């Protein structure tokens, strides 16, 4: 078993990254994104989609 495995969670979009470097590169995209108002229903649907996408990857 490899004890150097690190998983980093993005609280903004519920994604999980295999390394700190990948997370930091991803997190920069949040900082560069233009803020906009989103419909609350769209936000909830997007979170469910990410949850199921992440769950399906865990089954592998």
Listed by start position, the domains of the chain span: 8-58
Task: Please report the pLDDT score of residue 33 as a whole number.
Answer: 55
Per-residue exposure over 44-55, b if at least 16 CB sit within 10 Å of its own CB, e if not: eeeeeeeeeeee
Task: Please report the pLDDT score of residue 57 as a whole number.
Answer: 55
- pLDDT per residue as tens digits for the range 18-57: 888 888 888 887 766 555 555 677 778 888 888 888 765 5
Q: Distance between CA 28 and CA 39 in Å, rounded?
A: 24
Cβ atoms 55, 46 nearer than 8 A: no
pTM given for the model: 0.44
Does 9 score more than 70 pLDDT? yes
């Amino acid at each position: 078993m490899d004890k150097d495995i690190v998983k980093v969670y993005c609280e903004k979009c519920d994604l999980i990254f295999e390394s700190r470097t990948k997370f930091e590169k991803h997190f920069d995209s949040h900082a560069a994104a233009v803020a906009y108002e989103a419909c609350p229903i769209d936000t909830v649907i997007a979170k469910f989609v990410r949850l199921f996408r992440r769950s399906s990857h865990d089954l592998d």
